[in-house]
Amino acid sequence: MKHFLKETDFKAHELPGLFALAQNLKQGRGRHTPPALAGQTWALIFSKSSTRTRVSFEVGIHELGGNPLFLNRNDIQLGRGESIEDTAKVLSRFVHGLIVRTFDHSDVERLAAAGSIPVINALTDFLHPCQIYADALTLAERWAGAGGDLVGSLKGRKIAFLGDTACNMAYSWVLGANLFGMKIALAGPKEFAPTAEFDAFLAKEGYAGGYEFTTDPFEAVKDADVVYTDVWVSMGKEEETKERIRVMSPYAVTAKVFAAAKKDAFFMHCLPAHPGEEVEQAVLDNPRSIIFDEAENRLHMQKAIMATLAAARTQA
Ligand code: CP
Ligand code: NVA
């Protein structure tokens, strides 16, 4: 069974086809024949809030001819202690795919292992791969030019990630950058440098030491093609808000920091943003800020991912 729990669940040779499918679906929105999810129901199990992920998946499933079923974790028996394994086995008898937003990354791995349907990671505390694939498509659309090599256009580019460099977005971008052949520099307070656990995971994926870490934001953005940031207080970390804002303040993406990247660099943020904290409003409003294009591409890329996983299941 093919799942999408981490960036490397698609191999390098599968990426050109996936990106081309996403672009085709974008161009022919609403005209995908035959509908890849016709007659299917895909369930979304969410333990955290969401705007982009929930809406883009629900709309995407509908546009592929399927039926989305949103399940708040607390409204199903999982929230009252039914095991992850039993939940996976039962839902596999009813629905054709699971899209899961949760805290522990091991939850999505356990659902995938116990069930018999594709599982997609819609964000865990560790990784947010749907966002990285949509972001990569957004950049490739600009760099490849009309009819160009989408995935190839990412190779050799540099991304700088500032702020909380031990969060799901930072980790996912490190893994994604390595998969896409990009360079990545992280800048943040040393207390929030990637953990030894993440380094071990990265090594296991074949990318040991695949990032630079610095406490100097200007060093990270030097020669960068993309400057990226995320909130300083991820969902579930609210109790640490005061301390996080204190230590991460020097890593805000200000107009001055953004100007120190390449002259044609793009600014990206997975959103939601907290203007005045991790990013200045002027940077969000900069003509080279592509935050809403990356949000839109969640829909097109996730449709391509679901269609591919559904097809792989049929062939299995
Ligand atoms: N970027 C992202 O995943 O947004 P949501 O939390 O709104 O889904
Ligand atoms: N790091 C953020 C990403 C939100 C899309 C969080 O986990 O809350």
How do residues 135-161 score in pLDDT, each as one tens digit? 999 999 999 988 899 999 999 999 999
Report if residue 200 sits inside a domain.
yes
CB 182 within 8 A of CB 156: yes
Specify the residue with its C-alpha closest to ligand 2, atom 6.
234
Give CA–CA dist 276/279, Å, rounded. 6
- Total domains in the chain come to 2
Calculate what percentage of the chain has a pLDDT beyond 90: 95
Please indicate, yes or no, whether residues 276 and 184 belong to a single structural domain of this protein.
yes
Q: What is the set of active-site residues?
A: 101, 128, 131, 230, 270, 298
Please indicate, yes or no, whether residues 103 and 180 belong to a single structural domain of this protein.
no
Which structural domain range is residue 271 located in? Answer: 150-289
The helix/strand/coil state of 154 is: helix
Please indicate, yes or no, whether residues 191 and 122 belong to a single structural domain of this protein.
no
Please indicate, yes or no, whether residues 193 and 66 belong to a single structural domain of this protein.
no
Q: Which of 167, 192, 240 has most ligand 2 atoms within 8 Å of CB, for mutation? A: 167
How far does the centroid of ligand 1 lie from the alpha carbon of residue 102, in Å? Answer: 12
Nearest to 220 by CA among 254, 251, 174: 251
Provide the pLDDT for residue 151: 98
Report if residue 139 sits inside a domain.
no
Q: What is the CATH number of the domain that holds 11?
A: 3.40.50.1370
pTM (predicted TM-score): 0.97
Q: Per mean pLDDT, which range of 45-54, 141-150, 201-210 is the poorest?
A: 141-150
Nearest to 98 by CA among 68, 76, 62, 125: 68
CB 2 within 8 A of CB 118: yes
How far does the centroid of ligand 2 lie from the alpha carbon of residue 167, in Å? Answer: 8
